[in-house]
Chain A
């Protein structure tokens, strides 16, 4: 490859990867649409599939990667057959195209390392053979797994005879019939849609709060139907570019709105305009008219940035935050007379650095779609292997989250999906017996709640049985029979997250569910999230991840133990109490603290960490934290306060020390270790 092309290689690898992922996603969609009788959905998916294959072909040819181009060309050719007749698509063909996408992805990966991989002859032959047979009126036949082709029920293996009744109107046709909204709203002649663009002055240290005030003021004058950024973002302090756009349905005049906004300080620019049409009816299927957006300023321009560069930015901003805190500390030693000027400067610096940090975090935000797009395919693969039918529905894929969290989440989420197909969803005949639809359903949905992303994976399978999990945990000696009996059903379900509980041998109903679920829980918690499990026997299970938007800056509780200062993630802390250790009740020799209606075992952090015991006073502070198997108390010498900390992963050899999860640097330059309570107690 010539040097010239080398320059574009990383871009090619990234874009080709996206197209191949899109290709696989559309194929699974297409298969579903075909099963539901084709229609507009199938047509759109097939066109999109074709475009992806076509793009990969063109891109790789431009890169002189002829092998990739040749395979992509054959795949495109096969898809083209279905464009003419979607009914010809069967599971075998989808299998074949998906495996071609995998082959192509591997080749693209090899090209990233500088190779020019040759076309795989077997793949080429399978693709062109299938296209040939289909054109001659045959079928592709069973896929490599030998599983049956699309099931007869609801499938469209052959074109229906012209006279046959249509099974069910495809959604598109049904929608087309609704010319009028069912419940026409009373006319509101004066109310119309106004779009307000506001930019917050650079001198304002808290632009998000300013913008929030604007939204609030406008809300008093009409109905705010949309804001960009969303209000949740503003509440989390995010307002990229200090710009806000509010869509308002109001009866007020533009002048009245302008007057109201003139009362708000720190606004550098306010532009009001009416959306180009009357207020749409209540059904409002149409999103905001796009032309109105386009006429206002240039189209959004974007550039691609290497991810390691983004990581570098974040590191640098983290150092800036620490350095600012350090200057503030140093300033405290100055005589009072000269301190004010420095503090004013530091406040300003802090505001700027915080703004910069917000911007960097915004740039790092990545839509969940990058991950969720892979889920239908993953579910399908498992389903084909075990002879089940399942559909994955994804909602809220546009929700954004820090890419570091997204990366950590990939394996756990795939694991949960595979588990749901393998162990949650029943085989079709059993589902029909249970009065459920033959095709199992897994709903993946994401939504924002303030500064959290809630990700739910719900299946309509057979669910988990808390009673059996209790039995299994007792049988494994993880908990006692008395403890098991004391657990509520919800808590009992979480037993599945303990290592070794609910293996296939002990709990056939949930075989495998526990295997790896502890790893999933640990990963989710490592990024500052929580995991929750709900299940109803016979009705299905739901796993809920609550995730932070960003991972880098977390509030920590600082405590002193002996001469050391240590940090605990606030997310893990329930509360704290001041106690005299000698006066605590004891249970089996261990001190216990009454807290929030339960007795919490208290561990001495001085002893756990192997620090010298002499000089430890009887009166101690006890931090109640989440310890993995429930709450635990950690006795420390003093609570020092709460601080936003930029957490850095530990390098070797410190990462091997059990009980330490990260390190941060305080304003005074002192490094502080962050404790991993769960592992500390286990170790």
Chain B
């Protein structure tokens, strides 16, 4: 059964790009969120196998959202999408419970290799 993915990013462009990467590779994108608040709600509603999470977003940061999601579901698999220069934020997200991270700009094979490993499918 295809793994279900939730994509969180405030940029539509980024969401579309990530969606294309997953859709073409046997994943099922079940939802999108444009900020941390939405992310927490959608997560509780959809219970995806994997969540990709931007860090800097309006209303609630990806770190805060990660912390809340992990609090409600300790087994949640969240992969942070970060840019170069955000190393300390990524480490904060890891402390909050994120499973892994990818660094923008990324190639589709990098994204897929990280999430497959994290899901134990590699």
Q: How far is the CB of B114 from chain A (nearest CB, A)?
A: 5
Partner of B122, one of A205, A237, A262, A351: A262
Question: A55 CA to B103 CA in the complex, in Å?
Answer: 53
A208 and B87 contact, CB distance less than 8 A: yes
B84 within 8 A of A: yes
B84 and A350 contact, CB distance less than 8 A: yes
Q: With A263-B118, A263-B120, A265-B117 as known contacts, state yes or no: A213 contacts B101, CB within 8 Å.
A: yes
B84 and A205 contact, CB distance less than 8 A: yes
Q: With A212-B94, A216-B94 as known contacts, state yes or no: A265 contacts B87, CB within 8 Å.
A: no
Which residues does chain B contribute within 8 Å of A208, judged by CB atoms? 87
Q: With A209-B90, A216-B94 as known contacts, state yes or no: A265 contacts B100, CB within 8 Å.
A: yes
Which residues does chain B contribute within 8 Å of A209, judged by CB atoms? 87, 90-91, 94, 101
A347 within 8 A of B: yes
Q: How far is the CB of B80 from chain A (nearest CB, A)?
A: 10
Q: How far is the CB of A303 from chain B (nearest CB, A)?
A: 30
Question: Which chain A residue has the least Cβ–Cβ distance from B77?
Answer: A263
Question: Which chain A residue has the least Cβ–Cβ distance from B121?
Answer: A263
Question: Which chain A residue has the least Cβ–Cβ distance from B102?
Answer: A265
Which residues does chain B contribute within 8 Å of A347, judged by CB atoms? 84, 105
Question: A347 CA to B105 CA in the complex, in Å?
Answer: 8
A264 within 8 A of B: yes
CB-contacts of A261-281 with B (<8 A) = 262-265
Question: A414 CA to B34 CA in the complex, in Å?
Answer: 57
How many A-B contacts if CB must be within 8 Å? Answer: 45
A206 within 8 A of B: yes
* B91-122 Cβ-contact flags toward A at 8 Å (1 or 0): 10011000111010100000001100110101
Q: How far is the CB of A215 from chain B (nearest CB, A)?
A: 9
B103 and A262 contact, CB distance less than 8 A: no
Question: A363 CA to B24 CA in the complex, in Å?
Answer: 46
Q: How far is the CB of A498 from chain B (nearest CB, A)?
A: 36
Question: Which chain A residue has the least Cβ–Cβ distance from B88?
Answer: A235
Question: Which chain B residue has the least Cβ–Cβ distance from A235?
Answer: B91
Question: Which chain A residue has the least Cβ–Cβ distance from B114?
Answer: A265
B120 and A206 contact, CB distance less than 8 A: no
Which residues does chain A contribute within 8 Å of B99, judged by CB atoms? 263
Question: A526 CA to B116 CA in the complex, in Å?
Answer: 49
Question: A42 CA to B31 CA in the complex, in Å?
Answer: 72
Count contacts on B: residues with CB < 8 A to the other chain: 18
Question: Which chain A residue has the least Cβ–Cβ distance from B107?
Answer: A344
Partner of A265, one of B91, B94, B105, B113: B113
A212 and B91 contact, CB distance less than 8 A: yes
Which residues does chain B contribute within 8 Å of A344, judged by CB atoms? 105
B87 and A213 contact, CB distance less than 8 A: no
Which residues does chain A contribute within 8 Å of B101, judged by CB atoms? 209, 213
A206 and B103 contact, CB distance less than 8 A: yes
Question: A672 CA to B53 CA in the complex, in Å?
Answer: 37
A213 and B105 contact, CB distance less than 8 A: no
Kindly name the residue among A209, A212, A264 whose own CB sees the greatest number of chain B CB atoms within 10 A.
Answer: A209
B88 and A206 contact, CB distance less than 8 A: no
Which residues does chain A contribute within 8 Å of B120, judged by CB atoms? 263
Q: With A263-B117, A265-B117 as known contacts, state yes or no: A351 contacts B91, CB within 8 Å.
A: no
Q: With A216-B94, A347-B105 as known contacts, state yes or no: A262 contacts B117, CB within 8 Å.
A: yes
Which residues does chain A contribute within 8 Å of B122, judged by CB atoms? 262-263
Question: A300 CA to B99 CA in the complex, in Å?
Answer: 34
Question: Which chain B residue has the least Cβ–Cβ distance from A210?
Answer: B101
Q: With A265-B113, A265-B114, A347-B105 as known contacts, state yes or no: A213 contacts B84, CB within 8 Å.
A: no
Q: How far is the CB of A448 from chain B (nearest CB, A)?
A: 16
Q: How far is the CB of A260 from chain B (nearest CB, A)?
A: 10
Q: How far is the CB of B8 from chain A (nearest CB, A)?
A: 19
Q: How far is the CB of B104 from chain A (nearest CB, A)?
A: 9
Which residues does chain A contribute within 8 Å of B87, judged by CB atoms? 206, 208-209, 237
Which residues does chain A contribute within 8 Å of B95, judged by CB atoms? 216
Q: How far is the CB of A353 from chain B (nearest CB, A)?
A: 11
Q: With A212-B94, A213-B101, A235-B91 as known contacts, state yes or no: A206 contacts B84, CB within 8 Å.
A: yes
Question: A461 CA to B13 CA in the complex, in Å?
Answer: 65
Which residues does chain B contribute within 8 Å of A206, judged by CB atoms? 84, 87, 90, 103
Question: Which chain A residue has the least Cβ–Cβ distance from B119?
Answer: A263
Question: A679 CA to B90 CA in the complex, in Å?
Answer: 38
**Contacts A235-B88, A263-B120, A344-B105 given; 14 further ones with Cβ under 8 A?**
A205-B84, A208-B87, A212-B91, A213-B94, A216-B94, A216-B95, A234-B91, A262-B117, A263-B117, A263-B122, A264-B100, A265-B117, A265-B118, A343-B105
Interface residues of B (CB under 8 A from A): 84, 87-88, 90-91, 94-95, 99-101, 103, 105, 113-114, 117-118, 120, 122
Interface residues of A (CB under 8 A from B): 205-206, 208-209, 212-213, 216, 234-235, 237, 262-265, 343-344, 347, 350-351
4 smallest CB-CB distances across A and B, nearest first, come from A265-B114, A209-B90, A212-B91, A263-B117
28 CB < 8 A contacts A-B: A205-B84, A206-B84, A206-B87, A206-B103, A209-B87, A209-B90, A209-B94, A212-B91, A213-B94, A213-B100, A213-B101, A216-B94, A216-B95, A234-B91, A235-B88, A262-B117, A263-B117, A263-B118, A263-B120, A264-B117, A264-B118, A265-B100, A265-B113, A265-B117, A265-B118, A343-B105, A344-B105, A351-B84
